[in-house]
Amino acid sequence: MFESPEILLILLDAACLTLVGLPFCILNNQQRPFKRGFFCNDESIRYPLKDDTISYQLLGGVMIPFCLIVIICGEILSVYLSRIKNQLLGKRYVSCLYKAVGSYLFGAAANQSLTDIAKYSIGRLRPHFLAACKPAWERINCTAGGYVENFTCSDTLQEDEARLSFYSGHSSFSMYCMLFLIMYLQARLKSKWTRLLRPTIQFFLFVTAVYVGLTRVSDYKHHWSDVFVGLLNGGFVAVFTVFCVSNFFAQPVKPVVSQQEDVGHNLQEPSSGNHYGSTD
């Protein structure tokens, strides 16, 4: 099915995807966050420990399959409706799925790497830091509300996680996934009957991302500024991925064409006629 040049392009894409996700893998497995101190009178880090409303496992276990299912179903429907002549249909299915799913995974890896680089480099204390750290107060000099750097946490298992407040990984990942789908639907749903349905779906996707971010504030896992920056980061990466990596907004051709199309497998290569309908 694949020729030698196409295999080389696939290997290049795989190498790029690995490189983009490398910081995320390294930081999560080996790196410890920057050791930041605190002011004794800092009320912003004295909140209690609470369970996550939306855990890491729930967020990834729902959002990733949901995005992949929408993208895969969308690309299969797009290819089926495009009806391009003189082209192996199976090869076109594989090509479009490869580029759409590959673009999504590339952006997800870039988003997580950017998030973790910020988290581990800055080491901002979470709102529940003191409850998680449980420092030995008898050994800390808090006169005049001074800045404390030399202290030991009683609960070392939660200490590192409590230093990863800026910025919110939940917020950035949820906004990336939802905004990616919002723009994907904008590019693919072009029929007249979707003109109100499409923005309705997009609205609830956006609300989902915002809700995930708000739960991180109410759970005392992040400061509001962590969530705000996380949402901005996820949105930026989604826009970058859709417009600079994928080809969702490529100018479509007529539904039926007679010439042979070149269907390479590089993520940057544009495709044609890949829409659910037209705006006519």
- The DSSP letter of residue 128 is T
Asked if the structure places residue 26 within a domain, the reply is no
- The DSSP letter of residue 245 is I
Asked if the structure places residue 116 within a domain, the reply is yes
Asked if the structure places residue 3 within a domain, the reply is no
Q: Which domain holds residue 125?
A: 33-245
Residue 275 has pLDDT above 50, yes or no: no
Asked if the structure places residue 16 within a domain, the reply is no
DSSP letter string over 183-208? HHHHHH--SGGGTTHHHHHHHHHHHH
Encode pLDDT of 48-81 as tens digits. 999 999 999 999 999 999 999 999 999 988 888 7
Against a cut of 0.75, is the pTM above it? yes
Q: What is the set of active-site residues?
A: 170, 222
Encode pLDDT of 248-268 as tens digits. 887 544 444 434 444 444 454
d(CA 196, CA 200): 6
d(CA 118, CA 235): 16
Encode pLDDT of 118-157 as tens digits. 999 999 999 999 999 999 888 888 876 688 888 888 877 8
Encode pLDDT of 170-188 as tens digits. 999 999 999 999 999 999 8
Q: How many domains does the chain have?
A: 1
The amino acid at residue 10 is I
Residue 279 has pLDDT above 60, yes or no: no
Asked if the structure places residue 24 within a domain, the reply is no
Q: How confident is the model at residue 83 (pLDDT cuts 50, 70, 90)?
A: low
Q: Give exposure, 20-47, as e/b (b: 16+ Cβ within 10 Å).
A: bbebbeebeeeeebeeeebeeeeeebeb
Asked if the structure places residue 200 within a domain, the reply is yes
Asked if the structure places residue 197 within a domain, the reply is yes
